[in-house]
Amino acid sequence: MSVSDLIKPDVPKVSEDSWLSEILKALEKNRAVFVVDGLGRYKGIITEAVAYRPSIDVRSAKVKSVLYKAPALSSSDSARKAARLMVESGVKVLPVINESEILMGGVYADDVLALFAKDLKSVKVEDAAVKNPVTVPETATVGQALSTMRRENVQRLIVVDYRGRLRGIFTLHDVIEKLIKPKYRQKRDSPLSDYKDPLSAKISWLMTRDVKSVQAGQSAWDAVSMMLDGGFSSVPVLSGDAVIGIFTKEDALRRISAAEESEPDIFIQLSRKGPLGVDLEFDQESVIDKIQNTIIRRHRSLLASTTLTVYLNSEKRQRRGRPLVHVRLQINGPQLNTSVSAEGWGVNNALTNAIRLAERVLEKEKEARRAVKVNVEDILESII
């Protein structure tokens, strides 16, 4: 089963040169909007969590300055790969592009989940759920709930009564919809608009009531079909009246992606020039091993579906019997295209220098993605 079976060509998209304030209405209807350049090439996505980060002024920011470069798919990729990339990137919609990087459409998590109904029917929900979820009492204030979310770095809290029975659920989406978005609207439509100090209000004012739940013995598909029908992203798991876990769409996607065919998704190839036979310090296999045990082992998620080419070129000059070697590492993949060059006396020294440079580039790329990819702390820091 491939992405071509799931692609939706008609997806919301905006120009990278648009003002962020111009796409807020689109985000009211869509949790994510695709960003393209003037030629229709994919540049990234904007989610409501990205748009409403406290460090961003939605009234003056350009889309291209805040977008998140979610990994892209090709139509030939497997549906399980789509599930894996959704889990790794934290977004529930991924772009599908062609060889020219033109946006062809999108793949949505709900469609991936529906495709693997048979797989999920054979899994007990309690085996795939997160055990001992973070809870707050129904007597907690909004401020206390937000502090708990920030401290535990979770996107949802289960609200319980004094006996530990389910009373509601409070999510990061509730925070955005009911606390942050009203700041940017002309009308005061937050349920807490009459409070001088919204953080002192009871959590019951903001939480979702009448929450659907599943019992521990039910299947993961029972939970997923409930989420798909109800338009929500998580369900508490109960044993009788006691809350014992929480099961999310991401948990289901993780289960699906775990069964992805174990084929290599990072390819290493070598190209060598010059009299390298003089240097017996490394052969082809040992060069590949060194790459695998450094760059790939530490940065596998960023390098998924990537081709890494090692160019080796030596000169006649030698020192202590070792030629001067030039190494260029070329990285080409859906998430990153870059190259670094270094030199050294002997393959081992030159390769080590190139790997150090490559790892600096990859760490900087990770930091840049962390700065854009929203986490709970980003959202809550302006409220608490």
Cβ-based neighbours of 378, under 8 Å, separated by 6 or more = 49, 53, 54, 55
What pLDDT shows up at residue 271? 65
Tens digits of residue pLDDT in 159-203: 999 888 999 999 888 877 777 776 655 444 555 555 567 788 888
Superfamily of domain 266-370, CATH level 4:
Ribosome hibernation promotion factor-like (3.30.160.100)
The partner residues of 268 in beta bridges, in order of sequence, read 308
* Alpha carbon 270 to chain centroid, angstroms: 31
Burial 210-238 (b: 16+ CB within 10 A, else e): ebebbebebbbbbbbbbbbeeebbbbbbb
* Alpha carbon 206 to chain centroid, angstroms: 27
- What are the extents of the domains in the chain? 3-108, 120-257, 266-370
CATH number for domain 3-108, candidates 2.60.40.10, 3.20.20.70, 3.90.550.10, 3.10.580.10: 3.10.580.10
DSSP H stretches of helix in 92-248: 109-115, 117-121, 125-128, 142-152, 172-175, 220-230
Superfamily of domain 120-257, CATH level 4:
CBS-domain (3.10.580.10)
pTM: 0.67
Q: Which residues of the chain have pLDDT under 70?
A: 54-55, 182-196, 259-267, 269-283, 334, 367-384
- Measured CA to CA, the distance from residue 351 to residue 357 in angstroms comes to 10
Q: Please, how many CA atoms are within 13 Å of residue 254, restricted to the half-sphere of its CB?
A: 14
What pLDDT shows up at residue 317? 84
Tens digits of residue pLDDT in 96-108: 999 999 999 999 9
